[in-house]
Structure 1
Amino acid sequence: MPENNNMKNTFYLLIGGLLVLAACSGKNPIEKKKEELSQLRTQYKEVKDKIVALEKELSEIDSTYDDGAERNASLVSSIPVKPARFVHTIEVRGTVASRTNVSMSAEMGGTVEEIKVREGDYVREGDVMIRLNTSLVANQIKEVKTAIELAKVVYERQKNLWEQNIGTEIQYLQAKNNYETLESRLGQLNAQYGKMVIKAPFNGIVDEVSTKEGQMAAPGYPLIRVVNPGDGYITADISEAYVGQLKKGDSVKIYVPSLDKEYGSTITAVGQSIKLANRTFMLEAKLPAAAKDLKPNMLVVLHLADYVNENAISVPTRIVLEDLKGHYVYLAQKRDDDYIAQKRYVNLGKSDRNTTEIVSGLQEGDVVIDRGSMLVAQGALIKIQ
């Protein structure tokens, strides 16, 4: 009978193993390894707890056993618990922007006659950068100026005659109207002439020239872009869930993935309305003076502090473990001349990067096990490095 039972047990174990393999066959190798590691850790904890219990029983009935257990003590490191500043941050994607980043186009259609700048050139406000063919408008201006000279002479003579009560009023008014109409026409032509010349709107650098001499320029078609790198800032959209948690003057860290660099800055503006399209509000941060390599439209990651506790109890996240009862850490508890691992259940607050806030369960003066916390069990003998 015992032999039959052993055969049955062996059969059931084989069936169970096949079922586990079948369940895992549809998973990728990484998930399978994670599951295997989790199962091994669970088994290790169960075995470790049994070993500790047996060691405790043996130490009670065999006074010489402690010497042997001492040699098997787990080597760990420890951290004293003390209040410290805890900051929880959120990560938000943002972009580099510039208030003086302008793409300019022609207001009047015409042929590009001359391009006076190239990419990378520095320009001052008012400098001529592109000139369209102005010959037609220039000829019209010349004709109108000639007509104005005659109209002015006629108007002045009619005015003198009218003041001497010679001639009719209608002759005087016609001469005056003709002269003023030509003056207005000249003003319109001069305005058109000005629109055929594209000038720098501010001091900056020519970033892009998207036309060539001889090409036609249509109104609204971009011809040239001018950027002032010294007027940059960071902008980002923040979820409305963080309304009231961020304010002007708060510190912010700016990480630039493409450069693998991080800069410190401050919030300069917080939007006062929620965008209906994505339920976010606008946030702006100052572009640090040291961030000279940042260009408009570059992607950045903002680390914003949404929660600060000046006297928080916190521990490395890696030492916070969990079982069916909840989260816990191991303390290094003094026992006679030795130290043992003492399980302590805790309530967690927020976690930031590699640190977790402990709301309750720990107090100042406690000593938590750091390195080696995964290798101990409740009551296990430990040796602090």
Structure 2
Amino acid sequence: MKTYFQLLTAALILLVASCGQKDELAAKKEELESKKKEAAALRVSIEELEKNIAEMDPDFARENRKSILITTKEAKLGQFDHFVEVTGSVLSKKNVSISGEVSGRVQEVMAVEGMQVKAGQPLARIDAESIQRNIEEVEKQLELASTIFEKQERLWNQQIGTELQFLEAKNRKETLEKNLAGLKTQESRTVIRAPFSGTVETVLIRLGELVQPGTPMFQFVGDSDLFIEADVSERYIGVVSRGDSVEITFPSINETLRTKVSAVGAIINPNNRTFKVEVFLPRMANVKPNMISVLRIKDYESENAVTVPNYLILQDTRGDYVFVVEDGHSVKRYVERGRTYRDITEIKDGLSGNEVLVDKGFREVGDGFNVNIAQQ
């Protein structure tokens, strides 16, 4: 029985202690809430006072303004180059249309589109049967005329016969020789040959087709004497000259080379207000006619230029400006722009090249703002 009452007493003691702890915790929570409300009210009062004082004292406003977290970028002093960038096309001075020189039916076509051929290699053959018959006939006539001339010449040497007979025999023989040479030339032209080494771009005839002198048969492009032609805006007249250095990039094959301007056009195209520029192109295995290229022609350079990224330059009613970091503050510095190439701008005046510029966060700062530079 005694043990029962002891256990009951202990349980009651624990219950009372637990209730006491809960009451104490609730009291502390109430006190915390009260303090928070007091702190919030006090913070509002402080902010209101700071605002009122800042309106009356600008120095106080600058000193007590919150620091803005930023990153920085240094202005650069060094070489600055500006380029004119235009798109050009690879052309060939040996881009020709090969036509037939004699009439006849196409007997054989040896070339196919895209075929690489050497100079003099046969491309097609025209039926030469009628020419061959004429050659055979003239050869027989020439054989007889040669025999008559030889006999007449022996008689003339022996003072027999007249000079007129000798001259007629000679003239007959020489005329037939010229006729035979002309027919053989026509026969040779029945075989269409490559005028120089290159590529058969287009085949314009078919087997069995009847062609006449002047009929286009092949579009042929030589594999040498390539150049690039581009249209340049007329505002660069006097800037782009013959002999200027040019950097050429071929996007399709990801290759770059440096060459020179070989010719500058003297006429402005009234449709797009541009003039032609021709650039010498050395022989390259992967470069083909009509390939697109990008030309970078240097038109300006400065050895000691101050440059900054474009996006850091802002503008107001007074002009262009950037923010520089001085003694933990952002300072508004007005600048004079020079030329811009891609994402870099030359600064003509306003910076010396050793300034630290506000980078990330440059749109959140103002003149005289406190700044805190983040670790990069």
- The TM-score, its normalising length taken from structure 1, stands at 0.75
Task: Give runs of aligned pairs for residues 1-385 of structure 1, distance below 5 A.
Answer: 54=54, 57=57, 60=60, 66=64, 69=65, 72-229=66-223, 231-240=225-234, 241-248=236-243, 250-256=245-251, 259=252, 261=254, 263-271=256-264, 274-275=266-267, 277=269, 280-286=275-281, 289=284, 292-334=285-327, 339-385=328-374
The answer to which of 212-221 and 224-233 deviates more is 224-233
Inter-partner Cα distance in structure 1 for 2:154 and 2:253: 81
Deviation at 1:311, TM superposition (A): 1.3
Deviation at 1:325, TM superposition (A): 0.7
1:152-178: per-residue Cα shift (whole Å, max 9, x none)?
Answer: 111111111112111111111111111
Inter-partner Cα distance in structure 1 for 2:82 and 2:137: 73
C-alpha distance 176-260 of structure 1, shift in aligned 2 (>3 A): closer
Deviation at 1:56, TM superposition (A): 10
Inter-partner Cα distance in structure 2 for 1:288 and 1:109: 37
C-alpha distance 333-253 of structure 1, shift in aligned 2 (>3 A): farther
Structure 1: give runs of 5+ residues left out of the alignment.
Answer: 1-50
Runs of 4+ in 1 over 6 A off after TM superposition: none
Contact 1:253–1:302 (8 Å) recurs in 2: yes
Contact 1:265–1:286 (8 Å) recurs in 2: no
Query: One-letter code of the match for 1:185?
Result: N
Deviation at 1:118, TM superposition (A): 2.2
Query: One-letter code of the match for 2:74?
Result: P
Contact 1:238–1:283 (8 Å) recurs in 2: no
Does the residue aligned with 2:119 lie in a helix, a strand or coil? coil
C-alpha distance 269-55 of structure 1, shift in aligned 2 (>3 A): farther
Inter-partner Cα distance in structure 2 for 1:277 and 1:165: 77
C-alpha distance 178-230 of structure 1, shift in aligned 2 (>3 A): closer
Inter-partner Cα distance in structure 1 for 2:336 and 2:196: 58
Inter-partner Cα distance in structure 1 for 2:331 and 2:171: 103
C-alpha distance 112-157 of structure 1, shift in aligned 2 (>3 A): same
Inter-partner Cα distance in structure 2 for 1:219 and 1:373: 75
Contact 2:244–2:297 (8 Å) recurs in 1: no
Deviation at 1:347, TM superposition (A): 0.9
1:301-344: per-residue Cα shift (whole Å, max 9, x none)?
Answer: 3222111112111111111111111111111111xxxx111111
C-alpha distance 312-56 of structure 1, shift in aligned 2 (>3 A): farther
Contact 2:92–2:226 (8 Å) recurs in 1: yes
Deviation at 1:226, TM superposition (A): 3.4
C-alpha distance 86-54 of structure 1, shift in aligned 2 (>3 A): farther
- The TM-score, its normalising length taken from structure 2, stands at 0.77
Structure 2: give runs of 5+ residues left out of the alignment.
Answer: 1-50
1:348-385: per-residue Cα shift (whole Å, max 9, x none)?
Answer: 11111111111111103222222222221111122222
Deviation at 1:228, TM superposition (A): 4.1
1:7-46: per-residue Cα shift (whole Å, max 9, x none)?
Answer: xxxxxxxxxxxxxxxxxxxxxxxxxxxxxxxxxxxxxxxx
Contact 1:112–1:212 (8 Å) recurs in 2: yes
C-alpha distance 123-264 of structure 1, shift in aligned 2 (>3 A): closer
1:221-259: per-residue Cα shift (whole Å, max 9, x none)?
Answer: 321233344653322233453335444261413253xx3
Query: Bigger radius of gyration, 1 or 2?
Result: 2
The answer to which of 353-362 and 206-215 deviates more is 206-215
Inter-partner Cα distance in structure 2 for 1:97 and 1:276: 20
C-alpha distance 262-311 of structure 1, shift in aligned 2 (>3 A): farther
C-alpha distance 328-59 of structure 1, shift in aligned 2 (>3 A): closer
Deviation at 1:150, TM superposition (A): 0.6
Inter-partner Cα distance in structure 1 for 2:113 and 2:336: 60
Query: One-letter code of the match for 2:161?
Result: G
C-alpha distance 61-77 of structure 1, shift in aligned 2 (>3 A): closer
